[in-house]
């Protein structure tokens, strides 16, 4: 290379180095609160390797052009992923008595959020634990999401508290598993109960708090489930209600965009909580199903089928992960990211299941599901 051409190449090389360094810095800064160090390191390494390839294998012009393009894309992405400061932002979480809602309330309180928690029993142990263990920024309200009067009352109280700071996010977390069993065995009250809590309750809360979020241009985070996108045997009522919540979230995301409100839906994998209930609750639900089963259905399935098929499934919940950090990371990203994702798949199995149902033939999905949830138990009429 002649001195003239080398000096002429110093400017684009210098600009490229500055652009690449800025891209790496912006990405690392924007992701430090939401992604692990290995992910940030992987992105940085890929960008560096791409730069090395461009300048070692291509001409100076094309190497500079392609690497600069990669840096610009990285900058645009990292800018959209920048995290807003907490600054005491106010959030509402439903279903804070126990499980994910309870743990999430503590987590957000520790980060400095002003947390409003709706609970089914304001005097219950879960509510009392939050009051004792959390800071003074947390407020616990009696709010059964199937009770419109309670929702309206809590909305008025929160509106009074946040009239100067505004309500930034609503996390529709409250939900129930319902009863586990073949869809034909579940009487309609079980389906209605799941829909009332998992779907209609979330819709009621969303409609009630929309005026507050319209002022703040905040966001809704709806806690659906992997079962809201992936059919799972013995969870007909639960899957149907969560699928309705997932679709509702998508429609609201489109409709509320004009108001500056963002909507995200989270599909957690099978984290271990107390949503499945206790052994005593299983016995009561089993008794209720048998008492409401028609003679024809009872004759076809037999009395022993329900327990033999559903109890192993319920016991499998005990093998689920107790580490909720992947879920918390996604929720925090949905709350604070300038441009949150429309869908989060918290937990590896949730993402793999989405890929399986989306990109593979139904026969492949059915085969895998039958292998995972295989049972040697058959209804009486088939034995």
CA angle at 65 for the pair 42 and 75, rounded to the nearest 5°:
45
* Positions of E strands within 143-242: 167-172, 219-223
Rounded distance between C-alpha atoms, residue 290 and residue 304, angstroms? 10
How far apart (Å, rounded) are the C-alpha atoms in residues 117 and 95?
8
Total Cβ atoms within 10 A of residue 12:
16
Concatenated DSSP letters of 133-166: HS-TT-EEEE--TT-HHHHHHHHHHHHHHTTTT-
297 phi-psi bin (left φ>0, alpha ψ -120 to 50, beta other):
alpha
Catalytic residue among 25, 107, 238, 359: 238
Which residue, 189, 197, 371, 382, is CA-closest to 292?
Answer: 189
DSSP 181: B
The structure tokens listed for 364 are 């492949």
* Whether the Cβ atoms of residue 283 and residue 238 lie closer than 8 Å to each other: no
CA distance 146 to 120: 10
Is 305 an annotated catalytic residue? no
Q: Give 81-113 as a DSSP string.
A: TPBPP-TT-EEEEE--SSHHHHHHHHHHHHTT-
Give pairs for 368-374: CB < 8 Å, separation 24+: 369/231, 369/232, 369/233, 373/232, 373/233, 373/234, 373/313
Catalytic residues: 238
């Amino acid at each position: 290379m002649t001195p003239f051409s080398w000096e002429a190449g110093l400017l684009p090389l210098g600009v490229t180095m500055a652009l690449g360094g800025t891209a790496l810095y912006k990405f690392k800064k924007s992701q430090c609160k939401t992604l692990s160090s290995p992910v940030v390191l992987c992105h940085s390494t890929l960008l560096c390797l791409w730069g090395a390839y461009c300048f070692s294998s291509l001409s100076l012009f094309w190497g500079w052009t392609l690497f600069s393009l990669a840096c610009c894309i990285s900058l645009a992405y990292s800018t959209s992923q920048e995290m807003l400061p907490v600054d005491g932002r106010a959030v509402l979480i439903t279903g804070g008595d126990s499980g994910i809602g309870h743990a999430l309330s503590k987590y957000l309180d520790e980060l400095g959020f002003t947390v409003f928690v709706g609970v089914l029993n304001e005097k219950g142990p879960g509510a009392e634990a939050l009051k004792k263990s959390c800071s003074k920024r947390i407020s616990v309200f009696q709010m059964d999401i199937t009770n419109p009067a309670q929702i309206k009352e809590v909305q008025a109280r929160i509106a009074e508290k946040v009239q100067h700071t505004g309500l930034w996010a609503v996390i529709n977390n409250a939900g129930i598993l319902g009863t586990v069993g073949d869809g034909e065995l579940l009487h309609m009250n079980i389906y209605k109960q799941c829909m009332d809590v998992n779907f209609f309750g979330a819709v009621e809360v969303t409609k009630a708090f929309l005026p507050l979020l319209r002022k703040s241009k905040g966001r809704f985070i709806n806690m659906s489930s992997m079962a809201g996108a992936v059919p799972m045997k013995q969870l007909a009522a639960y899957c149907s209600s969560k699928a309705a919540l997932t679709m509702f979230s998508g429609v609201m995301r489109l409709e509320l965009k004009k108001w500056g409100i963002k909507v995200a839906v989270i599909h957690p994998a099978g984290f271990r909580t107390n949503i499945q209930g206790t052994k005593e609750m299983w016995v009561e639900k089993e008794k209720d199903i048998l008492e409401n089963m028609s003679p024809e259905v009872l004759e076809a399935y037999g009395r022993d089928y329900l327990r033999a098929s559903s109890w192993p499934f319920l016991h499998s919940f005990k093998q689920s992960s107790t580490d909720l950090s992947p879920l918390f990371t996604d929720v925090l990203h949905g709350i604070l990211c300038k441009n949150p994702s429309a869908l989060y798949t918290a937990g590896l199995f949730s993402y793999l299941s989405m890929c399986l149902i989306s990109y593979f033939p139904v026969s492949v999905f059915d085969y895998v599901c039958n292998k995972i949830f295989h049972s040697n138990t058959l209804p009486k009429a088939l034995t």
